[in-house]
Amino acid sequence: MFEQNQTSADNPRSLRISIDSKAKVKIGNLSRGGKARTLEPQKADDHDTEWSSVLVPFGILNTNNDQLAIYMGQSAETSDFIVDCLSDWWQKNQLLSSDFDEWMIN
């Protein structure tokens, strides 16, 4: 992997991105261990047994310019979800990346 990354880094026409998904996040009136980002912590349910949805965080880092895009999905972390995120990222960034003829995805 190091050789491929180095080859990509040495090629000015190579776009290298790094992708990663993190642990799913439950959304609801859940306890956060007594921590809140507000002045007055909100009262949570006694038991974290019910949540309204589950979000899947997915990130795409452009290693050429250190630009990070974070996506949140409600589906399972599937290949379709990953491809949807990559497609959306490319639609938003292709004009900035038009000088590249190769993608390297870590």
What lies within 8 Å, CB to CB, of 29 at 6+ separation is 42, 44, 45
What lies within 8 Å, CB to CB, of 43 at 6+ separation is none
What lies within 8 Å, CB to CB, of 24 at 6+ separation is 54, 55, 56, 77
| The two three-digit tokens of residue 7, written as one number | 């080859």
Do the domain assignments include residue 69? yes
Alpha helices in 1-106 (DSSP H): 2-10, 79-93
What is the number of domains present in the chain? 1
> Is the confidence at residue 36, as pLDDT, over 80?
no
Do the domain assignments include residue 72? yes
Do the domain assignments include residue 33? no
* Average pLDDT score over residue span 34-50: 61
* Residue, of 51 and 93, whose pLDDT is higher: 93
Is residue 97 left, alpha or beta, with left meaning phi > 0 and alpha meaning psi from -120 to 50? alpha
* Average pLDDT score over residue span 39-48: 60
State which residues form the domain around 62.
1-6+16-25+53-106
